[in-house]
Every structure is written in C-alpha cells, then in structure tokens.
Amino acid sequence: MKLADLTHARTDYNYAFLDEHAKREVRRALLKAVAVPGYQVPYASREVPMARGWGTGGLQVTLSIIGESSRLKVIDQGADDSVNAANLRRFVARMTGVQTTTDALEATVIQSRHRIPEEELQTGQVLVLQVPLPDPFSYVEPSRSLARELHADSDYALLWLRLYEDLTLHGEVLTGADHPVLVQGHYVMAPSPIPRYDLAALHQAHHLTLLSAGREKRLYAVPPYTDVLPLAFDDVPFQIERQQGWVCQQSGAQHGFMNEVPQEDGRSYVLSDTGYLEKLLRQKRGEPAIIGARRKSQQDQPGSAL
Amino acid sequence: MAYVAARGGEQAIQNAEALALRHLQTVRPEDIAWVEEHLSLLVDRVMGEGSLYAPQLAALALAQSGGDLAEAVLLLRAYRSTQPRIALAQPVTDASLTTVRRVSAAFKDLPGGQHLGPTLDYSHRTLRLELLNGTALQLPQVQQHPHPAPRSAPGIAGWLRQDGLLGTWPDSPSTELPDITRDPLTYPAPRGARLQSLARAETGGLLALGYSNMVGYSGVHPTVAEVRLAHTEVLLTHPVTGALFSAGRARVSRAEILAPLHSETTGLSLGMCGTLGWNETKLIAGGVLDLAMDTPNVHPALKEEFVLNHTESVEASGFCLHFKLPHYVTFASELDRLRSAGTALPSEEVTS
C-alpha cells in the first residue's frame, strides 16, 4: 500500500460538516442514550454554523447519523417551509448532497422542532427532536447539578408538586407544551416543547426518537416500543389541547393538530403538519397521494401512575 | 416577506441574507486589514470570546457581521470547531512573556517594576473632533526611557507564597488538561475548565456579575495583584526531531486578584483570569468572579454553575435570539390551558 492510498484530497468541509471524531462522539452518546431511555447523556456539542437555540443539537445528531441513502425531512412547528427549517434542510443538503422530502412516509430522518408528524412513523424511521431545555426540572429547579442528583435519586416530587399547585390554584394543570413524561417507568423526560397532543406518538412507537439540546449539551432517546406516559394524577385525567370542532380551512380535515390563525373577523384553523396537509389537498384534487396511517388515538392515552 | 409560507421559505431566507450582506459588496481585503490594525481591542475581544487566536479571521468576522459582536464570535467559534487539535503548546510562564504593560495595585513597587505601557486609563475622554474636520491629530512623541523595562517580570504570587501569605502550589499539578470544547462542562468544574470557561466568557456578562460582587453581593474585597498585557511565543515540540519551535506569536493578558477568603489554612486567596488578546475589563471581572465562586454561602448568582453557564456568549445570545423563531404551536398549547383554566380575561366588548 502506498501512502497516497491512505490520503484524500483536501476538502473545505468534511462530509456532513462535523469531523469524524465529533460524529463518533455523538454516535457513542446516542448508543448510551438508546440503552438508557430518557437519560440525558452529556456530549461536547460542537459549535456549528447556526446560532445556539436554533436547532444545533438536533442538527448535530442529524449530521452524525445521516448517510448517502438517507432521505431528510425538516420541519418547524410542523411546517417544512418555516424559515429555520428551510435553513437547516438547506445546510444539511449542502454538506451531504442528501435527498430531501416533505413526505413523512418517505423520510428516513425527520428533524423537527415542536411537532411530530400526523402520519404514524414506522420501524426504521428516526425522528430527531430539537430541544431547548432538556431537563424537565428546569422549570422548577434551574441548577443542573441539583437536577442531576434528583434524577439519580428518582426524586420527582418537585415535578408532581408543580402539577398539584396548578390544580389547587387554577383547577387545571397549566403545562402547555413540553409536559413532562415518564419513560419506561424510570426517568422523567422533557419531550421538547411538542404539544400535549403529540405525546401519544412517542408511546410504544415503531420509530426511534432522538432528542438533542445543543446549547445545553445533552442528548437522550426514546427507543421503539418504549412506554412514554405523561405525568398525571390517577384521578385527574391528562388533557390534550381541546380542538374539537376545529375544521382545517384548506383541507376540511377535522382531525390533526391545527393552528389557530387570527382573522380580522374572527379566526380560522389550518393543519400544522404541512407535509400532511399537502397530501390531503392533492387527494382532494384527485391527484395520487399515499397517506399514512393516522397515529394512535390521543384521547385514550393513559397518564402515568403516581 | 413571508415568515412561514406554504412555499418559498427558502427563497425568503436567501433574499433576507442578501439584504443583510449588502454592506459586504464593497469590502476590500485591505478593509479587513484596516479593522485588524485599527480596531485591535475589538478584534481581541472577539478572539477571546471566540477562543481562537486569529486576528485576521476575527477582523473578517467583524466585517462580515457588520460589527455584531455575538455574531462575530459565533462565526469564529463555528470555524474553530472544524479545525483539528494538532498539539498542546508549552505552558506560558511569567518569565517567557514579553510584557508590555504590567501594573499592580497591591504594592507601590515590586520586583520587575510597574510599567504602564499603552493605556487610555489616564486619557481625557474628549472626542478628537478635529479628525472630523480633516485635521490630522497632533500626537506627542513617545519618549524613550533611558533604562528600558526588562523583557519579562516575575509574577507577584510567587513572592506572596514565599512570604506565607498565599497557599503553596499543589505538590503534583494536574497534567490532564481539560478541554471544554471537547468535553461538556460539569460541576463542580475542574479548575482548568473553569479558567477556560472564564477566558471565553462574554465580556459584558462577566462585567455585570463581577460588578455585582464588587459592590457588595457576597463581596470579596479584591485587590489587583497584577494586570499584565504581553506577547507570547506559541512553543510546540516538533513531532519528529523533538525540538522546540515557535509556531507564532500571540497577544495574551492576565489578571491576578487577591482577597482574604477567611479560609483556615491560608491568609489570602488568588483569583485568576487569562485571555487570548488584551481584555483588561474582562480580566479583572473574571478574576474577581473566580474568587467569588469559592466563597462559602455565595450569592446564588455568583455560584460557579450560574456564572459559567450564563456568561457563555454563543449560547446566551443564540438562545435569546431564538425567541424570534415561530412558536405558534407552543403558544397555542399555552392558550389552550389559559382558556381551559378560565384564567383568561373576559373578552372585550367591542364599542364602536
């Protein structure tokens, strides 16, 4: 073997931007995360050419697992064409040449902020969620060192107390998005700020979910077929967002998570998942569209037991 | 321009970037060189927070970002993160520093002497308006001292240690250097990691927290043992011959701060902050915070974890700006709870 065989021409950037050492570190952390569902694994979290808090954690995971045969979908609030989603997709495509799609069924890797696609994801698909605050304690106990101890002791009293205080003061649990979930009966996890409606899509799912917080330098995972149950008291049922009676103005759909759009004379509603909406519209026009199975019913998801 | 359009988000962001980068159309390479030479303290601040010593790249980052400091630091950091870590340089010692400014507030005079060097500390802060009229500035000639200052000066900490006022060095100093760009910071942080974190902390953030300590929040009553601006050679060991060689020269700066922390074993404690580039305000604030963090029962905003986490420039600015991103799904979720709990105010009567 010649020395020349072992070298390669200088390139401006490595495939998928991150150098191979950085990718290997992320992959090792991912393996650990999958092995210990819901546990936050620290990782170095390199700077990438995006601002922190703009999906750098999700991006590092995507860049570390993506390959030539991957198909990438990137969404923000459910929308493929939201400005930051467009930017992230453009960056990954530029650094890898990978094919992109807006179809949740076609994608092998879906990077998302704040939503899970409406169509049920399947075995082999990977959902990468961008996470702003990886620790469910951050709303009640900002010290990360102390939060780590509480996780180690499985001491989640503070989180339960927060729910209880909401109930006694307001008669309702007031967490909006990012409602804490119990993963496989052990770690309580921040599911990232997805609506409560989306939590059911993590429970006993076919797909793998990877969650990564670049700024906070933590990543964690929900492997397929894992229990993910929202924290809720036995006698106070967990509630998803109430959107009964809402009709999507564009597709006429009466299911799926919708955006409320203020109008001068009131409001209208439209599906938040634009890839799904696009397919419904195509079907409506009589064009071919393969629409995936709807996810498990959100209404009857059990809460976790105390 | 659509913020979230059904289609066209990608075109929108490209056009938005083109609008923001219009100022670059007329930038010439010599303009970057001008920034590097004439705004050197700004360049130093960006290099310090970017933790990359590269004056030319820092000047380019400043020009590219239109002078947005956080953006310039991010540009430099994102570039840095793609560069391999080739070797560890030799430690910089007091004796190896070519010192251009060194002042101590603790003693009137001290071994190695007091040397003001270049400073605006005693300048009258009046705008030199004559420059706007096209008149060249009349600047006094720098007078050469008959006895030039020594090239380097010993640190004052050594003298204090000999005198028993300061704790001794550890018998076996840690040889494992942490690298906070390769391993996440965990708390309590090893000292090396803390000093690295301070070195690249956001200057304004360190100043705000350091100032709060100076005016009384868990105040440590600091005395500046030394502030030093210097040049250092970056000495590497040649991988084949083993010989030491200089890979280049860098501006570096350091402050050592003394305070009695009422520890039982030593009279005084030494706080330290060192940076790439010359960043005096940051040095003193950082050195004071280094001490404050070790004070028993310190104010929560001055604990190590609080200080280091919240003065991280790239993370803090990025997270702050991210609130501009669409949040309509999370906001909808929140609205749902408010409406459900009946805590929303009664809707307004429309009177018109």
- Residue B347 pLDDT: 61
How much is the pLDDT for B348?
A: 59
Kindly state whether residues A274 and A158 are assigned to the same domain: no
In a domain, A13, yes or no: no
Q: Do B183 and A215 touch (CB under 8 A)?
A: no
Q: Are the beta carbons of B329 and A145 separated by less than 8 Å?
A: no
Q: Do the chains contact at B78 and A49, CB–CB below 8 Å?
A: yes
Is the ipTM beyond the 0.90 threshold?
A: no
Do A40 and A158 reside in the same domain of the chain? yes
pLDDT reported for residue A4: 76
Could you tell me if residue A264 is inside a domain?
yes
**Residue B69 to residue B48: CA distance in whole angstroms:** 12
**Domains: count for chain A:** 2
Q: Is B112 left (phi over 0), alpha (psi -120 to 50) or beta?
A: left
Q: Look up the CATH number of the domain holding residue A219.
A: 3.40.50.11310
Report pLDDT for A295: 84
Task: Give the confidence band of B158 by pLDDT, cuts at 50, 70, 90.
Answer: confident
Q: Is B240 left (phi over 0), alpha (psi -120 to 50) or beta?
A: alpha
Query: A253 is in which domain, residue-wise?
Result: 243-290
Q: Is residue A270 part of a domain?
A: yes
CB A209 within 8 A of CB A129: yes
pLDDT the model gives residue A301: 56
Domain boundary at A229, A261, A276, which?
A229
Which pLDDT tens digit goes with each residue over B47-85? Answer: 999 999 999 999 999 999 999 999 999 999 999 998 888
**Same domain, yes or no: A176 and A72:** yes
Q: Tell me whether residues A51 and B7 touch, CB distance under 8 A.
A: no
A190 shares a domain with A269: no
Q: Is residue A279 part of a domain?
A: yes
| Shared domain check, A120 and A175 | yes
Summarize pLDDT for A174-197 with one digit per residue, the tens: 888 999 999 999 999 999 999 999
| Residue A260 host element (H or E) | strand A258-263
* Segment B236-266, tens digit of pLDDT: 999 899 999 999 999 999 999 999 876 556 5
For residue B312, what is the nearest residue in chain A, using CA coordinates? Answer: A215
Q: How confident is the model at residue B315 (pLDDT cuts 50, 70, 90)?
A: very high
Examine residue A71 and state whether it is found in any structural domain, yes or no.
yes
Residue A260 lies in a domain: yes
The answer to whether the CB atoms of B315 and A77 lie below 8 A apart is no
Tell which of A14, A47, A165, A258 to mutate to test the B interface (max B CBs under 10 Å).
Answer: A47
Confidence bin at B5 (pLDDT 50/70/90): very low
* A 11-50 residues inside an 8 A Cβ radius of B: 13-14, 17, 19, 22, 42-49
Q: Per-residue pLDDT for B215 more than 70?
A: yes
Q: Could you tell me the pLDDT band of residue B139, with boundaries at 50, 70 and 90?
A: confident
Domain boundaries, chain B: 10-80, 94-117+152-167+182-315
DSSP B268: B
Q: What six digits make up the tokens of A303? A: 């809460």
pLDDT, residue A268, reads 94
What whole-number distance in Å separates Cα of residue B74 and Cα of residue A169?
Answer: 43
* pLDDT beneath 70: ranges in chain A: 8, 10-11, 297-306
Determine what percent of chain B is predicted with pLDDT higher than 90.
59
The answer, for B151 touching chain A at a CB cutoff of 8 Å, is no
Give me the pLDDT at residue A243, please: 93
- A43 and A148 fall within a common domain: yes
Instruction: Report residue A25: phi and psi, to 5°.
Output: -65, -45
Taking an 8 Å cut-off on Cβ atoms, the answer to whether B340 and A49 are in contact is no
Q: What is the mean pLDDT of chain B?
A: 89
Residue A298 lies in a domain: no
pLDDT for B82:
86
pLDDT of residue B4: 42
Q: Which of A73-77, B83-87, B110-114, B341-345 holds the top average pLDDT?
A: A73-77
Beta strands in chain B (DSSP E): 98-103, 223-237, 244-259, 269-276
Strand partners, A213: A218
Which chain A residues are within 8 Å of B329, Cβ to Cβ? 77-78, 114-115, 177, 193-195, 257, 259, 272
Report the pLDDT value the prediction gives residue A131, as an integer from 0 to 100. 97
pLDDT by residue (tens digit) across B167-202?
A: 777 666 677 889 999 889 989 999 999 999 999 999
